[in-house]
Amino acid sequence: MPGPLLTDRTAIVTGAARGLGEGIARAFAAHGCAVGLFSRDLASLESLAAEIRAEGGKALAVAVDVTDAAAVEAASARVAAELGPVDILVNNAAIAPSAPFLEMSDAMRDAVLDTNVRGPWHCTRAVLGGMVERGFGRVINISSVTGPLVSGKGMTAYGASKGALSGFTRSLALEVAEHGVTVNAILPGSFDTPMLRALAEPRGSTPDAYVRELGATIPVGRLGTIEEMGELAAFLASEHARYITGAEIVMDGGNVIQEHK
């Protein structure tokens, strides 16, 4: 088995309280990385941080709303002070309310854009300068196949936000490539997360049944796991991925390449 990929590194993972963010945080810690955990759900973060520390890792739970630029700056500074300079940022925090375009309020639209676009902007700005100065950094944006590649009814705001994140990823990658900083995006398809399971009831199903039914439509026959997402993110954060930047990596079990489903 290969050794830890991220020994002596420090990362911030946003939206780390559950789902993909939790999987990424756990994988980073398992690979020797100290992890700053960001979310508005402090209780869940503290529980996760305690588990990581109990397994010999380093973790700091910080309650922060990524739409608040000043709060992000303060939280990032705290991580740097307590865990070390931030080498890796995973912009994972996102919301995905669904509504037909003509029924979507400006408030709902703005909430999606604030979290999914301005959030990554605030977090990246808070740590990128230090990465450039030290000549090493990894920014990983958790985007989606929804928006950049496909979409669905009711997803105009979410799709627009993830399309914007694609442009942000590519443009920023060019700006910082010469400084040893890479910027990449992961485009997940369907993963077994609390967010996905919450869609079951509005669609007339139960969470377990919905996961089975949705998984049966995917070429590999199942949904992705948060552990698999964590391992891909750990690779992109490591020295092994130093020649990958500006990339959008689809992780969806082969779903988007199907002509018919």
Interatomic CA distance for residues 135 and 129, integer angstroms:
10
Q: How far is CA 254 from CA 4, 9, 215, 228, in A?
A: 28, 32, 11, 14
DSSP summary character for residue 247: -
Quote the tokens at residue 259.
């002509």
Quote the tokens at residue 191.
């993963």
- Hey, how many other C-beta atoms are within 10 angstroms of the C-beta on 209? 11
List, in order, residues 6 or more apart from 117 with CB less than 8 Å away. Answer: 161, 164, 165, 168
Question: E-strand spans in 92-223?
Answer: 137-142, 181-188
Q: Write out the catalytic residue numbers.
A: 158
